[in-house]
Structures are given as C-alpha cells and as structure tokens.
Amino acid sequence: MAKFTFQLFNFDSLDIDEIIRLLPNHFSLIRKEGDTFLTVIFDDAIDEKEIIYLIDREFDRIYFLTGCKIDFSLIHIMYSDGRQQARCGIKCSINAIQKIPDNIGPQQWENNIDTQLKLWRLAHEDNIALGARVNLLFQIIEIEYPDNKNYPEYNDPKLEPSPMTEAKLLRHIVSHGKSPIKSSQLRKYCKFLGLRAEMHDPANPKFVDAINRRLPVITNLAKEIIEAKLTKI
C-alpha cells in the first residue's frame, strides 16, 4: 500500500478532532509547526486522479457542513517498495466556518451525494453569476426529483408557489435571455414577483432584486436534500 501526504490550506479555524470524526479510517490528520497534513493509504496502483476525487468529495462535504473551503496539495508519496516522491503546494485564502453537528460521521457515498455536494460548493463560489447559482442549486433538486409530477402546477399569482415548483420556475426564468414569456405558469410567477413577463434580464435591478429575494427558497430546498443524505452516527 502507498501513503499519500497532502498539505491542507484554510484549515486553521477547524477543530481537527471534529474533522477526523467525519473521515474514513484510512484518512489521518496531523498538525505540525502550524501546518495541517492529511495522510491517506491507498493501493500503489490507484490512479492519482481517483485519489484527488476521493479526497475532494470529503472536502465538499466539509464545506457544506462548515462553510470552510479547504484546499489541498499533494506533497509526498511513499510507495510500498520504499520509493518516495516529493511535491510542493501553494497556500490559499481563509474562509469563515460553521460548527459541525455532533451527529455527523463518515459518509456513505451513495445516491449521488458526491455530485450534489460538488454542485453546492460550485453554487457558492465567489462572484458567481446569479443565473448560474440558481441553475446549480436546481440541479441538486433535479437529481433528487427528476419527475415533473414532483412539481405541482402554479395557478394563482396571489399565492406563493410550493417550494418545489418555485425552484423550477426560478430555474426557467434565469435560464433564457431577455425575451417575452409564453408559459402560463411563468407569466403568473412573474406577476407574483411584480415583474414584467420577460425572461432573465441581469441588467434590470428590479429583476435581480426579485430573484435574490426568492433565492433562499431554492437554496434551502437544495440544502435540505443534502442534509437528509448526510450519514449520521
């Protein structure tokens, strides 16, 4: 078996014992002279890209739980035959964090949770366009609920749509350039928002404000889907 050592960045504010609780048994963490290192044990024959994927999905989940974007760089490999290989890493910026719930343990990676966590992290990248954020969040929902039957029809602009329906309507309205809306449901949704019946217009402050006001609906729904899949202890 080979030992792969990574230097972690943006880790200083995290509780190392809490993070160890979340990780598989073949992952280990140490702090040395102010730096944090992750060591993972894998078969010599494993592809390096596969290792990066397996580590990255763990850190996507930690980002979901804490808001901390951990970066990592491979700095050393020791193979089972004694061969060694050194690498180097680059430091990155620090992010604010949240407390990890006490009942979260190592993840059972199934039912597309890895994809949904990656989409969540991408949706919260700095300076991402509003339309792109809505689309990424809706993909989390769509993976879980691909059938149109899960999205009730919207008929009354005096009332809020159901969260599922509103998520889909938000995705539709930001996914097309400025143009008249023909869909009856979307026209009613625009009336609910107090907007003209037109598609995405990022140059219109009123449109942007309206979408931002409703963004928590799709964000909270995507978050609830992921939270329900986190492995509990």
User: What pLDDT does residue 176 have?
Assistant: 81
The pLDDT, as a whole number, for residue 48 is 82
Which domains does the chain carry?
A: 2-86 (3.30.70), 113-229 (no CATH)
Q: Distance between CA atoms of 45 and 50, rounded to whole angstroms?
A: 11
Handedness of CA 174, 178, 183, 188 (dihedral sign): positive
In order along its 233 residues, the chain shows pLDDT tens digits of: 889 999 998 888 888 999 999 999 999 999 888 889 999 998 888 888 888 889 999 999 999 999 998 888 888 888 888 888 886 554 434 355 678 888 999 999 999 999 999 999 999 988 899 999 999 999 999 999 999 999 999 999 999 999 999 999 999 999 887 777 888 999 999 999 998 888 877 878 888 999 999 999 999 999 999 999 999 98
- pLDDT (0 to 100) of residue 74: 87
Query: pTM value?
Result: 0.78
Please name the residues in contact with 70: beta carbons below 8 A apart, sequence gap of 6 or more: 8, 9, 10, 11, 14, 59, 62, 63
Determine the straight-line distance between the first and last CA of the chain, rounded to whole angstroms: 29
Q: What is the pLDDT of residue 90?
A: 44
